Chain A
Amino acid sequence: MKPAPFAYERPRDVASALAAMAGEGTIKIIAGGQSLGPMLNLRLVAPDTIVDITGLDELKHAEVSGDELVIGACVTHADIEDGRIPDVTRGAMQRVAADIAYRAVRNRGTLGGSLSHADPSADWVSALAALGATMSLRSATGARRIAMKDFVLGALESALAPGELLEAVRVPAMPPSARWGYVKACRKTGEFAHAIGAVLIDPDAGTARVVIGAVEAAPIIVDDTAALFGGRISHDFASRFDARVADALLLRAGLGDAADRHIHVAVLRKAIAEAAK
């Protein structure tokens, strides 16, 4: 379990990182290495060059800008867990961060690294979709933004183009009337989730974002959330949750296994119950 030989670059700024990414051969960015490290050791990936962006101070910064929080891609899970960066989610992100894997992983693992890796069972992939986050991407030729719900395309597959880097995550401030629920099922503390339910429900506005994650593909972002609650979203949303609608939705999304669907629906129900507390 030793990696195949590779070249290692540790750029000093984003511009030189982007230049390094435009080099010859296969290139992988390392931003904490909590997933990429084992994959290299198992020789599941054997890039010609590793570009280590953990030295880029520009990406370790977080600030509130207008009504959103802009978090640099190299902010660690532990930074969020420990409250070292500002918060606009009334503690929701802090609680999600605190439950990611183990503390050793949280110390090194980064927000941008986890999102770019696009593991369907990763917490941020589902949580940030429910929080309505937007990704800021940059390449040598320009910058663009993309909604989190469109960022993950499949298992370990993101919307990042070759030569493109996830620079920051923009999280909108959570309205005071919004209710947050996040529940995951894991075989044991710190293990990968096998079901995730993430909901942000605003009964005053009659809106909801509902995400069913850890489905071995991109998370399921429910389009017609009202249907989950009998046609309307109001203050009694938890008691109006219709498990049959959720089950049918999972079936349509390709989850053929009844036990899988049962667990996902149960997790979603618990997330909704948490939001109603």
Chain B
Amino acid sequence: MRSERDPSFAKPASQGVGARVPRKEDDRLMRDRGQYVGDIRLSGLQDVAFVRSPLAHAQIRAIHIPERYRDVVFTAADLVGIKPIRAVTGLAGFKASDQPILATDKVRQVGELIAMCVASTRAEAEDIAAAVTLDLVELPAVYDMRQALAPGAPLVHEHWGDNVFLESFFEIDIASALDAPIKVTREISTARQCMSPLEGRGVVATFDSRLDQLTLYSGSQMPHIVKNGLSDCLGMDQGRIRIVSPDVGGGFGHKGILLPEEVCLSWLTMRCGFPVRWIEDRREHLVASSNCREHHYSITVYADRDGTLRGIDCEAIVDSGAYSSYPFSACLEAAQVVSILPGPYKMPAYRCRTFSVATNKCPILPYRGVARTGVCFALELMLDLVAAEAGLEPGEVRLRNLPGPEQMPFDNITRKHFDSGDYPEAMRRALKQIDIDGIRARQRRGEADGRRIGVGLSIYCEQAAHGTSVYAGWGIPMVPGHEQATARLTPDGGLELRVGVHSHGQGLETTLSQVAFEMLGVDVGRIRVVHGDTAMTPYSTGTWGSRCMVMAGGAVATACHELGERAKKIGAKLLQVDEAAVALVDGEIRGPNGSVSLREIAHTWYRRPQDLPGDVDPGGLEATSGYKPQRDTGTFSYAAHAVTVAVDPDLGDVEILDYVIVEDGGVLVNPMIVDGQIYGGLAQGIGTALYEEMPFDRAGQPLNTTLADYLLPGPTEVPMPWLDHMETPSPYTKFGVKGIGEGGAIAPPAAIGNAVNDALRGLGVEMMQSPITPRRIVEAILAARDAQRPAA
């Protein structure tokens, strides 16, 4: 435990970009003084429980509401004029789905909303929900994405004629790879998961008749986007809607989505005249929301004997679930797989076809590392097989195919523009730190306890803060433009920053303050970051895609620069010199013969305007400005992961013995916060690799519906990794920063999978499916043993 006397807690020499400033928000969050949606108390607040579909696919024949509950139960028939949620894309061939707010004629997933029940407590609302009976005609469920593609499969949306939201395709010269001496083909899959922030979703809705305004409190990463979606569904002017996203206990993508529950409660409070609340419980969370990650790859990698990649040929399927979620759509993952599968590697030939498939499951939502975790798992597992086939060390194969620093910026085969970095150096450092030679020697010696040691590597790239040019091409309901921020000096010389992004674990209240300190020299302790309220912040698409440090950081820097220019104008007047003669240094305007602090300037402007000459610039001390990087195709951060595991072939247990991460996130605004991002991501990556899985039965029923069944890694399962930062600046962004929020969760499944396979290679076992569970390992070992036994 560190104490305040610990030197690392001392006030840093600088509070600006690069300083390990302790997080400002932790004082409130760690002392239980945060306020989450579930903490909000409003007079007359009533609770809502939903009647949800118990079946994956069914016609609704009737909904029976007991007479005594007629006034407190609402169904689709009550929602007159409310539009379904619709998230289309501009991609050719995309088929749109209408996600009903409450189910109308048909239900398409277990947990779909059918009716809402309102009472003075949640328990009573659940009693009412239990009294509502449903007359459903069960239809065959589409429970498997591969079977969903088969002719004659049941249809999730009948009028489509098939179950494909979108087919995506890309090819460059695959014919040239076919004569490669090494050809490895495999089927690889990643389980459906449930992203699991500590706090689930939650909504409180109330209507202010004085303002004629609906206020929706919702734990959202993207409050302005929720406002857009809500306005569309309710048919209400944007001016009559305010979204407040208070403290949020983790998002990871799950909280970027417009929920039917948000629409329901908005309608309900306007209908009933009192505030209403719905707090998602963990069962609703696991059954009806937050699903992610389910991919299947049929992949062939072509290579030369020296490990040089000749090409990749892949067909991938992503289980997109029943509906296209707002705003990211149903094809976010599968369409991205096509463009990001090659990762950072050089290769002359590539072909990839993907399908975004509709099934009777929850819509698939973006989860930290969107699509990249699956892609990294598939490609990096294959590279280890290429290495085995070529008789090379896995590290050697990677070093042979990664672009060198002299090739930066590097455009890969799918025309992704890698802005900067030294990928081979990251891999070399990881190999050295994990002590690859020592592990090989240890493997030759064997283990006294009968376990088997393996080492695994992976490397990935993380495109972040990709902007207008990328998203306009997708044509989804949300295209990011210039990011805006407001900077305002207060009459007492404090600084307020207003941003449309949301901070819920990223530490933006600290890092954006550090950016402002860098620009204006105002003490971080005197800076307040206002976020999470559409009435108080400039429009923004919000927090997603690891974009905030680049975009909101850039916007804060730009707004602070403009504010500084305004302060210089006033300061020059007070110093009675020409504006060209003053400079902003360390929080004061310095002239040739004296200086005036920002605090004095603010005091004069607001409280003693009589001290200003009549010809002072009237712009004042508040500036809103916008920012985009010089190139908006995204920053590329990356990391090499290396892991050593011990596998018990009797029990199938995997223990992580050592974990090394060498990451390059560009210039780090606060390396301590980046460390935290990586630790958290690693924990989630370990969950993907070894624990987390949401299986479904043939009726489309989700099976792991409590946290006793859906396993998440805990403190005993997550090792302390060894971290090393490289800091190659991005040439395109303010300060050279890059987005780094997701990387920690991308590489672990691939590295751990490779380590397990390395450990088990002598037994003829390959694990090609995540999570790698003890049972799957034992089954594979037994199968390999049976296969090696001569036929009787």
Using CB atoms and an 8 Å cutoff, list the residues of chain A in contact with chain B: 1-5, 38, 42-43, 185, 187-192, 194-195, 258-259, 262-263, 266-267, 269-270
Q: A1-B281, A2-B126, A188-B711 are in contact. Are A259 and B706 (CB under 8 A)?
A: no
B137, CB-defined interface residue at 8 Å: no
Using CB atoms, name the residue of chain A closest to B123. Answer: A2
Instruction: Please give, as numbers and ranges, the residues of chain A lying within 8 Å of B13 by CB-CB distance.
Output: none
B691, CB-defined interface residue at 8 Å: yes
Q: Judge whether A189 and B716 touch: CB under 8 Å.
A: yes
Instruction: Give the contacting residue for A185; candidates B126, B281, B283, B651; CB below 8 A.
Output: B651
**Which of A3, A38, A185 is packed against the most chain B CB atoms within 10 Å?**
A185
Instruction: Please give, as numbers and ranges, the residues of chain A lying within 8 Å of B714 by CB-CB distance.
Output: 188-190
Contact with A along B521-541 (1 / 0, CB 8 A): 000000000000000000000
Instruction: Give the contacting residue for A1; candidates B282, B713, B779; CB below 8 A.
Output: B282
Q: Judge whether A1 and B711 touch: CB under 8 Å.
A: no
Instruction: Please give, as numbers and ranges, the residues of chain B lying within 8 Å of A191 by CB-CB distance.
Output: 708, 711
Q: Judge whether A188 and B782 touch: CB under 8 Å.
A: no
Q: Judge whether B716 and A188 touch: CB under 8 Å.
A: yes
Nearest CB in chain A: distance from B726 CB, A: 33
B447, CB-defined interface residue at 8 Å: no
Instruction: Give the contacting residue for B652; candidates A188, A192, A263; CB below 8 A.
Output: A263
Q: Judge whether B778 and A263 touch: CB under 8 Å.
A: yes
Complex-state Cα separation, A181 to B652, whole angstroms: 21
Q: A1-B282, A4-B130, A187-B711 are in contact. Are A262 and B716 (CB under 8 A)?
A: no
Q: Judge whether A259 and B127 touch: CB under 8 Å.
A: no
Q: Judge whether B691 and A187 touch: CB under 8 Å.
A: yes
Nearest CB in chain A: distance from B521 CB, A: 48
B578, CB-defined interface residue at 8 Å: no
Q: List 29 A-B contacts (CB under 8 A).
A: A1-B282, A1-B283, A2-B121, A2-B126, A38-B706, A38-B708, A42-B706, A43-B126, A185-B651, A185-B653, A187-B711, A187-B773, A188-B691, A188-B713, A188-B714, A188-B717, A189-B716, A189-B717, A191-B708, A194-B775, A258-B779, A259-B775, A259-B782, A263-B650, A263-B775, A266-B650, A267-B651, A269-B650, A270-B650
Q: Judge whether B130 and A192 touch: CB under 8 Å.
A: no
Complex-state Cα separation, A267 to B653, whole angstroms: 12
Using CB atoms, name the residue of chain A closest to B776. Answer: A259
Instruction: Please give, as numbers and ranges, the residues of chain B lying within 8 Å of A42 by CB-CB distance.
Output: 283, 706
Complex-state Cα separation, A269 to B281, whole angstroms: 42
Nearest CB in chain A: distance from B282 CB, A: 7
Instruction: Please give, as numbers and ranges, the residues of chain B lying within 8 Å of A187 by CB-CB distance.
Output: 691, 711, 773-774
Using CB atoms, name the residue of chain A closest to B711. Answer: A187
Q: Judge whether A192 and B708 touch: CB under 8 Å.
A: yes
Instruction: Please give, as numbers and ranges, the residues of chain B lying within 8 Å of A38 by CB-CB distance.
Output: 706, 708
Instruction: Please give, as numbers and ranges, the residues of chain A lying within 8 Å of B691 by CB-CB distance.
Output: 187-188
B122, CB-defined interface residue at 8 Å: yes
Please provide the chain B residues from 704 to 720 with a CB less than 8 Å away from any CB of chain A in the complex: 706, 708, 711, 713-714, 716-717
Instruction: Please give, as numbers and ranges, the residues of chain B lying within 8 Å of A4 by CB-CB distance.
Output: 127, 130
Instruction: Give the contacting residue for A2; candidates B122, B711, B773, B778; CB below 8 A.
Output: B122
Instruction: Give the contacting residue for B651; candidates A189, A190, A192, A263; CB below 8 A.
Output: A263
Q: Judge whether B782 and A262 touch: CB under 8 Å.
A: yes
Q: Judge whether B651 and A266 touch: CB under 8 Å.
A: yes
Nearest CB in chain A: distance from B215 CB, A: 26
Complex-state Cα separation, A74 to B14, whole angstroms: 58
Q: Judge whether B782 and A258 touch: CB under 8 Å.
A: yes
Instruction: Please give, as numbers and ranges, the residues of chain A lying within 8 Å of B122 by CB-CB distance.
Output: 2
Using CB atoms, name the residue of chain A closest to B125. Answer: A2
Complex-state Cα separation, A263 to B779, whole angstroms: 10
Using CB atoms, name the residue of chain B closest to A35. Answer: B708
Instruction: Please give, as numbers and ranges, the residues of chain B lying within 8 Å of A270 by CB-CB distance.
Output: 650
Q: A185-B651, A185-B774, A187-B774 are in contact. Are A259 and B130 (CB under 8 A)?
A: no
